[in-house]
Amino acid sequence: AQTVTQSQPEMSVQEAETVTLSCTYDTSESDYYLFWYKQPPSRQMILVIRQEAYKQQNATENRFSVNFQKAAKSFSLKISDSQLGDAAMYFCAYNSGGSNYKLTFGKGTLLTVNP
Amino acid sequence: GAGVSQSPSNKVTEKGKDVELRCDPISGHTALYWYRQSLGQGLEFLIYFQGNSAPDKSGLPSDRFSAERTGGSVSTLTIQRTQQEDSAVYLCASSLRAVYNEQFFGPGTRLTVL
């Protein structure tokens, strides 16, 4: 079964600095999708960024980028120029694509942004 | 456009009572998912609906849990004879196409069983 591991229960960063959140996963599939979701105190899960495993280029969305290491099964999220609004719980999630539609989530990393 | 909506936002019930949680997906989204978020277990998949196909109920933790989706739109998750371990946030998500798998989440219903 696929598993997703986030080894950092909590992280903190100074405003305007850069922080990297770690995620590793276990799968025997060669094609799959990886996601980072953000959950602020409002509970609304918001998609931050996604990566298709067949793409070698790392996904980027404005201040958010990933470091996707397929061989190492690692999918870290880098947040540049951190803002107070980035404070939230961040979840890494995996989906094997095709007809397998379930998201498997990690336990989450709580990010605090200090002014 | 409008996002996924869920009601109620919070629900407090007594052990043994039945509860119904509602989800309104984004218009036009054919796939609908329920997840449960609890402190001990993190985020768990519960059930999935895709169009008129039979739902995938493989994540439902017991036969006290059931869900239906009427008219391919609104979904209701029902928990019968609630137990304290059912206390959690229940999240609903929808997506345009299951194979694309970009899921949009609602704000969730926080269920507290006393």
Rounded average pLDDT per 10-residue block, chain A, 115 residues: 91 97 94 93 91 92 96 97 96 83 91 96
Whether the CB of B34 is below 8 Å from some CB of chain A: the reply is: no
* B62, HSE (Cβ side, Cα atoms, 13 Å): 8
CB burial of residue B53 (10 Å; 0-12, 13-18, 19+) = exposed
First and final CA of chain B: distance in angstroms?
A: 37
Query: Measuring CA to CA, how many Å separate A55 from each of A31, A33, A60, A76, B60?
Result: 10, 10, 12, 15, 34
Name the minimum distance, in Å, from the CA of A32 to any CA of chain B: 10
Per-residue confidence in pLDDT tens, chain B, 114 aa: 589 999 999 999 999 999 999 999 999 888 999 999 998 778 999 999 988 888 999 999 999 999 999 887 899 999 999 999 999 999 999 988 755 668 899 999 999 999
Using a CB-CB cut-off of 8 Å, the residues of chain A touching B43 are: 91, 103, 105, 108
Q: Nearest-CA residue of chain B relative to A41?
A: B107
Q: What is the pLDDT of residue B51?
A: 83
The answer, for A89 touching chain B at a CB cutoff of 8 Å, is no
A27-58 pLDDT, tens digit each: 988 889 999 999 998 888 999 999 999 988 99
